[in-house]
Structure 1
Amino acid sequence: MSVAEYFSSMEYGPAPEDDQAARAWLAQHEASFGHFIGGAWHAPAAGEHFVSHAPATGGRLAAIAQG
């Protein structure tokens, strides 16, 4: 199949830069994460977290367990 054929057969969907699905997932987890070990979330032993920032805006994305 040629590149032109791929382009003509592509269906339009959400733009890859659309962050709504990612933000919904963060909200579902209250934007705070422990360590994911053995299929479950665990709090850090010292209770410390660091903040992850969105590179485009500098805004807060989530608090992540310091490991």
Structure 2
Amino acid sequence: MRVTDTGPGVREDERELVVQRFYRSDRSRHIKGLGLGLSLVAAIVKLHGFRFDILPGLGFVVEIAFRPKTASSV
């Protein structure tokens, strides 16, 4: 599943940070929120064995994909 919006996007150096609890980018500090949304989504996705990736592109692009089990992860 891929979700895309037309907003300002996420800089490459912030892609790992935006999924941390309470992280707020300097560009979004004036917008209402606590910085929990993406961290909760990423945790739930990973808990169920899926992959959560923030992709480069125009706007904000998130991809949630099935992560098949390998012989070493069984």
Task: State TM-score, norm by structure 1.
Answer: 0.26
- The structure number with the bigger radius of gyration is 1
Task: State TM-score, norm by structure 2.
Answer: 0.24
